[in-house]
Amino acid sequence: MFRQLQDFIFQTAGAASLRLLVAGLPDSLLSDSLYYFRIPHENMKKNAERKAFKDWFDRKAARAMAAQVAAAAPDFDESGFVRKATRSLNKLEFNARVQQFSDALRATLPESIPHALATLSSSLPEELPDCEAVADGWLQLPLGQFIADHGLDHFDESMTAMIALTKRMSSEFAVRPFVEHHQDVTFERLFVLTSDPNPHVRRWCSEAVRPRLPWGRKLRALVADPGPIWPILEALKDDDELYVRRSVANNLNDIAKDHPQLVVKRCKQWKKGGNEHRSWVVRHGLRSLIKDGHPGALAVVGFGPPKKLTAELTIRPKQIAVGGQIELTARIETTAGKAQELIVDYAVNYVRKSGKSSSKVFKWTTTRLPANGSVTLDKRHAMKLTTIRALYPGVHHVELQVNGVRMAEASFRLG
């Protein structure tokens, strides 16, 4: 279903509290997590204090799902479902619990898969009223798993069920086996749905075909050849909803990891005659290439090679403990006779357990450097432990990056 999510969060964290995940996840990843499960940020913080993430699928959740299905099918075996869904539950991690709930549905729903899919669709809660609404969408995860596990031989019925489901939470993981095994017909159907009046459905059309969807199964055929994706992105790039356009940009960012020149070329075309909304899609879609200093991507968003620049980077203090922070000061000067637009980033070379280092680029700011002028910038950077980055003692080098070019370096000691 969404193996990277399971491996990264649920199985590695195990019974770790949700509170630790909230503290450790970067904002962008946390935001995506909250959207996927339709969880209000404050509710997540509140629930984290008392419940492990995997325990959301407990006996109470099984009863709730049984009641949901029984409301649509009065002869549904509620007690049988609860018994099968909760068997040895305390031994199972999150992924296995979702799978067991799905298996319990298969054992208690009608033998006919089309009939079972129709029952599940009829059982769904009310559609989300807008793109900001939140609800307990996580409870519907086993329904998506059921579709992925049993729906491949029933394409039309499965698509109908996924469309209904994605209006309540998301079918972006459930649909991926269909993209893999029925690529042509799936793409044809998704393209038609790019004009659907529901923004959740339109967003799904893009999320469904992201080659490297976070936490989802990698779509290897689309990693190798993203050609089939372009008609869908073309149809959605000017969508009225930012929610949909953000998915288009994220799809571009996925494709750029394997085909940077294709994405740069497409974005260059999109910039011509585009409006402010499309400019945002282009910039957000090129974000990883921009951070990597890709010249073509920088040129598309209006940033050329730095001209007649000198730069200096200083760090204070020179030594900190884990949990502390450093203060970066950059001074950039030019003798060029024309003003320059600059994207200023910095790269921290983290010491790894092996003693080697790995570089991580962070955004700093964009600024306009006047002709024959200078600018001084300040930035604080925290060295805190998170669930996704271990810290090790030693000398850490920091590099100043201006329009993709490393211009200056300084260091500090952690430990």
At position 62, the amino acid (one-letter code) is A
Is the per-residue pLDDT at 116 higher than 70? yes
Helix (H, G, I), strand (E, B) or coil at 410: strand
Same domain, 199 and 86: yes
Q: Is residue 391 within 8 Å of 348, Cβ to Cβ? A: no
pLDDT at 133 (0 to 100):
65
What residues contact 27, with CB distance under 8 A and at least 6 apart?
none
Are 335 and 359 spatial neighbours (Cβ–Cβ below 8 Å)?
no
Percentage of the chain lying above the pLDDT 90 cut: 79
For all residues of the chain together, what is the average pLDDT?
A: 88
- Tokens encoding 102: 């799905």
Inside any domain, residue 200: yes
* C-alpha torsion sign, points 102, 104, 108, 113: positive
Instruction: Give CA–CA dist 177/225, Å, rounded.
Output: 17
Question: Residue 49: what pLDDT?
Answer: 46
41's tokens: 């940020």
Confidence of residue 129 (pLDDT cuts 50, 70, 90): confident
Single-letter amino acid, residue 107: A
**What is the distance between the alpha carbons of residues 100 and 89, in angstroms, rounded to a whole number?**
9
Q: Does some domain include residue 75?
A: yes
Same domain, residue pair 152 and 289: yes
Burial of 83 (0-12, 13-18, 19+ CB in 10 A): middle
Count Cβ atoms below 10 Å from residue 109 Cβ, excluding itself.
22
pLDDT of residue 377: 98
Please determine, for residue 7, whether its predicted confidence score (pLDDT) is greater than 60. Answer: no
Q: Are residues 287 and 330 in the same domain?
A: no
As given in the structure block, the two tokens for residue 158 are 């499965």
Q: Is residue 294 domain-shared with residue 313, that is, in the same domain?
A: no
Residue 273, pLDDT score? 80
Please report the pLDDT score of residue 118 as a whole number. Answer: 98
Last residue of a domain, one of 279, 298, 317: 298
Percent of the chain with pLDDT over 70: 87
What's the alpha-carbon Rg for the chain, to the nearest Å? 24
pLDDT at position 46: 46
Compute the distance between CA of residue 159 and CA of residue 147 in angstroms, rounded to an integer: 9
Q: Averaged over 395-405, what is the pLDDT?
A: 97
pLDDT in tens, 185-223: 999 999 999 999 999 999 999 999 999 998 788 999 999
4-18, 149-163, 236-250: least confidently modelled range: 4-18
Q: Which of 298, 318, 353 is the last residue of a domain?
A: 298
168 shares a domain with 195: yes
Predicted local confidence at residue 197, as pLDDT: 97
Cis, peptide link before residue 110, omega less than 30° from 0: no
Tell me which H or E stretch contains 306. Answer: none
First and final C-alpha spacing in the chain: 40
pLDDT band at 39 (very low <50, low <70, confident <90, very high): very low
Contact between residue 165 and residue 144 where contact means Cβ atoms under 8 Å apart: yes
Residue 191 lies in a domain: yes
Q: Is residue 381 part of a domain?
A: yes
CA distance 127 to 376: 51
Alpha-carbon separation of residue 369 from 246, 303, 365, 379 (angstroms): 30, 12, 12, 18
DSSP track, 199-233? HHHHHHHHHTT-TT-TTSPP-HHHHH--GGGHHHH
Q: Which domain holds residue 409?
A: 309-414
Q: How far is CA 284 from the centre of its chain?
A: 13
pLDDT of 98 strictly over 80: yes
Shared domain check, 368 and 282: no
Average pLDDT over residues 61-66: 97
Find the CATH number of the domain harbouring 7: 1.25.40.290
Residue 62 structure tokens: 């099984």
Q: How many CB atoms lie within 10 A of CB 112?
A: 12
Q: Does 122 lie in the same domain as 87?
A: yes
Token duo for residue 111: 């033998």
Decide if 303 is inside a domain: no
pLDDT of residue 274: 75
Q: What is the pLDDT of residues 221-245, one digit of tens each?
A: 999 999 999 999 999 999 999 999 9
Q: What share of the chain is helix, strand, coil (3-state, %, to 5)?
A: 50, 20, 30
Pair 57, 112 in one domain: yes
Which DSSP string do the residues of 378-402 spell out, in sequence order? EEEEE---BTTB----EEEEEEEEE
Running DSSP on this structure, what letter comes out for residue 126?
P
Same domain, 252 and 339: no
> Does residue 78 sit in the same domain as residue 182?
yes
> Whole-angstrom Cα distance, residue 12 to residue 1?
17
Among 278, 280, 251, 277, smallest CA distance to 263 is for 251
